[in-house]
Amino acid sequence: MADNVAGSPLLEVDDLRTTFTIPAGDVKAVRGVSFSLEQGRTLGIVGESGSGKTVLARSIMRLNLGSNVTTTGTAAFNGSDVLTRSPGEMRELWGTEMAMVFQDPMTSLNPLVRVQRQVTEHLCRHLNLNRAEARQAAVDLLREVRIPDPETRLRSFPHELSGGMRQRVCIAVALACEPSLLFADEPTTALDVTVQHQILNLLSREQTDREMAMVLVTHDLGVVAGRTDDTMVMYAGTVVEHAPTASLFADMRHPYSEALMRSIPRTSLPSHTRLAAITGRPPDLIDPPSGCAFSPRCPYVQDQCVNEEPPLVETDDPAHRLACWTPVGSPEARAAFEKNLAAGLQQAVAVDISAAPSSTGGVDG
Amino acid sequence: MGSFIATRLVRLVATLLAVSFLTFLLVNLLPGDAINALIPIEAQQDQEYVAQVRAEWGLDDPMLVRYGKWLGDAVRGDLGDSIVTSRAVSSEIAHRIPVTGELMIVTVIFSVLLAVPLGVMSAYREGSRLDQFISGGAQFALSVPGFVAGLLFIYVFAMKLGWFPATGWTRISNSISGNLMTVTLPALSLSVIEVAVYTRVVRSDLVTTLKEDYILSARSKGLRDGFILFRHALRPSSLTLITVVGLNIGLLLGGTVVVEFLFALPGLGKRLLDAIFQRDFMMVQGITVFVAMVYVVVNTLVDLVYLVVDPRIRKAD
């Protein structure tokens, strides 16, 4: 779709910051994020609720509404910054170049508009199709996203479709004008587990077939594993670890990534094993903690973590970027953990219990 | 769908029975004897004549018996005769309803045509100067009764500018343009409060709708703001408006009484007012039941409009 300038990435984000001004103060939802994404590649953004992943995606798409939002930095799409574009210029990108699949298909389709119009209205606007052509395009799209009997479904209202069907319609809407960049913002969070897998596979297949770039936002590490080329772990509005997905899972370096990984329930563990939840709460984004934002919850915390904010730097593998003073597995981390455990620090004790369930009890009630 | 309409019909009949009975009761509880309207005071010396007239009009029967008789006639379309003019109540209504009906319809059209764009602009620029101006204006207009607006309009548009006649009515069958000239000022006077109410309703519903995910989703498709406002947001925001318009039609009937009086229009409201002063209980009864019927029918139609506007209700029923 896009005529990519050779060598320059499709999307290049530099020091993006988004702040919401509310009566209680400035909520710094995204605090300096930089990354780039090549044509046809996929990027997973992982983090818990409130880590800024959705705001980041919406900032790049310029979909954060309201007069209380400030976004600074640059987000160059095909070499030109989208953050300085006028609303009219954005409309030319929306739908045709960038599209988004939203989290909840129950609310992201207009309940009073038939599927056909929702799938084709932007086609008609962007590609100047007439009614018959638009209808045919809609049938093709619904068939492509594996909706049975598309001719009938076009006449349906959203409430007549199941959740999975609706998300398929949303994907069809997003794909209609063949965007070169697709944001999928927690596309399976609101769906049944059985449907999640199908929707993710559908997205992966479309991404590959169309050679489009995709940003997959999720709170579930399991979703990005094996589906994205790169993975970016976000915490408190910053990127804490960014690596090719395979090497991230092989060699998880940030304590937060490790904690996210550890918190996935596993069927291989004995029953009644305590779920390894991450202790503490996500930080206050109006007044973020000094130093590393994860330090109040980190089992490897040491003095430097509280005083100095770690920069996102390349590790020995240049593709693997990390923002941590005590990376998991390093001698410093081991020493800090022993010290914190001896001091009875809550997050260290919690890790110790879940790491060795059988020796510490809590098994077989 | 069929059962929906059947339920509404049963409800309509029950409402009409209750309204007619209550009106009958109230008219009977009014101080003053209907005989005073039938026979001049000086003629009431003749006891025999008075007794004869009372028997003729059934004034000595128990109230329930009189109601039963009236109801029996009413279901056959006979609402009785006016005590004062002796003309059939139904033909008086038929003669007057075009005036009041037109006044109300034009008022509703004016109000909706003005209120929807105002409400949409206000919601679209929520919190802006324009929004504050429109919301403030609506707040002010809410406190202006129809007759005050009417007096003001008569002064400005009829007396100073001379664009419209101050009073009177031209029937539509005589002259369409003349008819429009005479309906404009009364309808505008009635519209002032209506516009204020509808604008606020549209604004507040639309402000909520514009925060919905599907509006964000529509934006992300690159649709124009105007298209999003009118083709995506307005319909889900119009259910309250439809309800309020339906309910306000009842209030409007009350409003027409004053405005018809002010502009000297030969409408139903003016006739009702005259009938009350003349103790013309048959007339009061007839007009009230007719108005109640219109009200209930309109609100039943409003319920049917929901079915058209919101497909989810169609499904649920």
What 3 state SS string does chain A have? CCCCCCCCCCEEEEEEEEEEEECCEEEEEEEEEEEEECCCCEEEEECCCCCCHHHHHHHHCCCCCCCCEEEEEEEEECCEECCCCCHHHHHHHECCCEEEECCCCCCCCCCCCCHHHHHHHHHHHHHCCCHHHHHHHHHHHHHHCCCCCHHHHCCCCHHHCCHHHHHHHHHHHHHCCCCCEEEEECCCCCCCHHHHHHHHHHHHHHHHHHCCEEEEEECCHHHHCCCCCEEEEEECCEEEEEEEHHHHHHCCCCHHHHHHHHCCCCCCCCCCCCCCCCCCCCCCCCCCCCCCCCHHHCCCCCHHHHHCCCCCEECCCCCCEECCCCCCCCHHHHHHHHHHHHCCCHHHHHHHHHHCHHHHCCCCC
Q: What total of structural domains would you count in chain A?
A: 2
- Please give the residue of chain B at the shortest CA–CA distance from A172: B221
CATH number assigned to the domain comprising residue B159: 1.10.3720.10
Backbone angles phi, psi at A13, to 5 degrees: -105, 130
A230 within 8 A of A43, measured Cβ to Cβ: yes
Q: Could you tell me which residues come within 8 angstroms of residue A358 by beta carbon, excluding any fewer than 6 positions away? A: A270
Tell me, yes or no, whether B264 lies in a domain. Answer: yes
Among candidate residues B74, B105, B138, the one where a domain is terminated: B74
CA distance B98 to B7: 30
Q: Which residue has the higher pLDDT, A358 or B98?
A: B98
Residues B217 and B261 in one domain: yes
Which chain B positions have a beta carbon within 8 Å of A68's beta carbon? none
Tell me, yes or no, whether A1 lies in a domain. Answer: no
Q: Which residue has the higher pLDDT, A294 or B35?
A: A294
CA distance A97 to A180: 5
Tell me, yes or no, whether A39 lies in a domain. Answer: yes
pLDDT in tens, B237-249: 988 898 899 888 8
Which chain A positions have a beta carbon within 8 Å of B127's beta carbon? 67
Residues A174 and A278 in one domain: no
pLDDT category of residue A190 using cuts at 50, 70 and 90: confident
Chains A, B: CB pairs < 8 Å: 81
Neighbours of A21 (CB within 10 A): 13
Residues B57 and B120 in one domain: no
Token duo for residue A334: 């081991």
Let me know the angle formed at the C-alpha of A70 by A67 and A73, rounded to the nearest 5 degrees.
Answer: 150
CA distance A214 to A207: 7
Among candidate residues B42, B74, B106, the one where a domain is terminated: B74
CA distance B155 to A306: 76
Q: Is B71 helix (H, G, I), strand (E, B) or coil?
A: helix
Q: What residues 41-80 of chain A have any CB closer than 8 A to a CB of chain B?
A: 61, 63, 65, 67
- Top residue of A61, A103, A110 to mutate, by most chain B CBs within 10 Å, is A110
- Top residue of B217, B305, B309 to mutate, by most chain A CBs within 10 Å, is B217
Q: What total of structural domains would you count in chain B?
A: 2
- Top residue of B220, B309, B314 to mutate, by most chain A CBs within 10 Å, is B220
pTM assigned to the model: 0.81
Residues A215 and A322 in one domain: no
Residues A27 and A144 in one domain: yes
pLDDT in tens, A202-245: 999 999 999 999 999 999 888 898 889 999 999 999 999 999 99
Token duo for residue B118: 């105002």
Instruction: List the strands of the sheet with A80-81, edge to edge.
Output: A25-37, A11-22, A69-77, A80-81
Tell me, yes or no, whether A243 lies in a domain. Answer: no
- Confidence (pLDDT) at B7: 82
pLDDT in tens, B59-103: 777 888 888 888 888 888 888 888 778 888 888 899 888 889 889
Residues A224 and A265 in one domain: no
Residues B69 and B115 in one domain: no
Residues B178 and B149 in one domain: yes
Tell me, yes or no, whether B56 lies in a domain. Answer: yes
If you average pLDDT over every residue of chain B, what do you get?
85
CA distance A336 to B43: 115
Residues A208 and A123 in one domain: yes
Helices B89-124 & B281-309, crossing angle to 10 degrees? 40
Token duo for residue A38: 């090549």
**How close does chain A come to B311, measured CA to CA in Å?**
6
Residues B146 and B272 in one domain: yes
Sign of dihedral through CA atoms A52, A53, A56, A62?
negative
Residues B292 and B203 in one domain: yes
Q: Is B270 helix (H, G, I), strand (E, B) or coil?
A: helix
CA atoms within 13 A on the CB side of B272: 23
**How close does chain A come to B221, measured CA to CA in Å?**
4
Domain range enclosing A331: 251-358
Residues B296 and B249 in one domain: yes
CATH number assigned to the domain comprising residue A194: 3.40.50.300
Tell me, yes or no, whether B82 lies in a domain. Answer: no
Residues B158 and B272 in one domain: yes
- Confidence (pLDDT) at A6: 52
Tell me, yes or no, whether A130 lies in a domain. Answer: yes
B310 and A102 in contact by Cβ < 8 A? no
pLDDT category of residue A7 using cuts at 50, 70 and 90: low
A163 within 8 A of A135, measured Cβ to Cβ: no
Residues A155 and A111 in one domain: yes
**How close does chain B come to A103, measured CA to CA in Å?**
9
Nearest to B222 among A65, A95, A113 (CB): A95
pLDDT category of residue B229 using cuts at 50, 70 and 90: very high
Tell me, yes or no, whether A46 lies in a domain. Answer: yes
CA distances from A117 to A98, A171, B62 (A): 20, 14, 65
Residues A150 and A121 in one domain: yes
Residues A149 and A287 in one domain: no
DSSP B177-200: HHHHHHHHHHHHHHHHHHHHHHHH
**How close does chain A come to B117, measured CA to CA in Å?**
21
B219 and A63 in contact by Cβ < 8 A? yes
CA distance B191 to B194: 5
Residues A87 and A147 in one domain: yes
Residues A135 and A50 in one domain: yes
A217 within 8 A of A233, measured Cβ to Cβ: no
Tell me, yes or no, whether B37 lies in a domain. Answer: yes
Tell me, yes or no, whether A5 lies in a domain. Answer: no
Give the position of tokens 């430097």: A304
Residues B102 and B42 in one domain: no
Backbone angles phi, psi at B150, to 5 degrees: -60, -45
Which segment of A16-20, A264-268, A281-285, B197-201 scores lowest on mean pLDDT? A264-268
B195 within 8 A of B118, measured Cβ to Cβ: yes
- Please give the residue of chain B at the shortest CA–CA distance from A65: B216
CA distance A219 to B152: 63
If you average pLDDT over every residue of chain A, what do you get?
88
pLDDT category of residue A365 using cuts at 50, 70 and 90: very low
Tell me, yes or no, whether A223 lies in a domain. Answer: yes
CA distance B309 to B313: 9
CA distance A273 to A265: 9
First to last CA, chain A: 59
A31 within 8 A of A48, measured Cβ to Cβ: no
| A128 lies within 8 A of chain B by CB | no
pLDDT in tens, A246-261: 999 999 999 999 999 8
pLDDT in tens, B172-214: 777 788 888 888 899 999 999 999 999 999 999 999 999 999 9
**How close does chain A come to B222, measured CA to CA in Å?**
4
- Confidence (pLDDT) at B316: 53
CA distance B170 to B184: 12
A121 and B221 in contact by Cβ < 8 A? yes
**How close does chain A come to B128, measured CA to CA in Å?**
10
Backbone angles phi, psi at A72, to 5 degrees: -120, 175
- Confidence (pLDDT) at A358: 42
B222 and A110 in contact by Cβ < 8 A? no
Residues B165 and B60 in one domain: no
Tell me, yes or no, whether A244 lies in a domain. Answer: no
Residues B117 and B259 in one domain: yes
- Confidence (pLDDT) at B32: 65
A56 within 8 A of A47, measured Cβ to Cβ: no
Let me know the angle formed at the C-alpha of B290 by B285 and B293, rounded to the nearest 5 degrees.
Answer: 125
ipTM (interface pTM): 0.85
Q: Is B157 helix (H, G, I), strand (E, B) or coil?
A: helix
If you average pLDDT over residues A55-78, what whole number do you get? 91
Backbone angles phi, psi at B84, to 5 degrees: -85, -50
If you average pLDDT over residues B227-234, what whole number do you get? 92
Q: What residues 262-281 of chain A have any CB closer than 8 A to a CB of chain B?
A: none
pLDDT in tens, B12-45: 888 888 988 888 888 777 766 667 767 777 777 7
A11 within 8 A of A37, measured Cβ to Cβ: yes
Residues of B with CB under 8 A from a CB of A: 127, 212-214, 216-225, 227, 231-232, 235-236, 309-312, 315
- Confidence (pLDDT) at A264: 82
Domain range enclosing B19: 2-74
Tell me, yes or no, whether B86 lies in a domain. Answer: no
CA distance B161 to A100: 57
Residues A294 and A194 in one domain: no
Give the closest residue to A146 by CA, choosing from A194, A198, A207, A96. Answer: A198
A108 and B217 in contact by Cβ < 8 A? yes
Give the position of tokens 């609720």: A49
CA distance A260 to A277: 8
A163 within 8 A of A195, measured Cβ to Cβ: yes
Q: Is B115 helix (H, G, I), strand (E, B) or coil?
A: helix
pLDDT in tens, B100-146: 988 999 999 999 999 999 999 999 998 889 999 999 999 999 888 88
Residues A128 and A24 in one domain: yes
Give the closest residue to A329 by CA, choosing from A257, A225, A275. Answer: A257
**Element housing B304 (H / E):** helix B281-309
pLDDT in tens, A158-187: 999 999 999 999 999 999 888 999 999 999
Neighbours of A266 (CB within 10 A): 9
Tell me, yes or no, whether B81 lies in a domain. Answer: no
Residues B133 and B67 in one domain: no
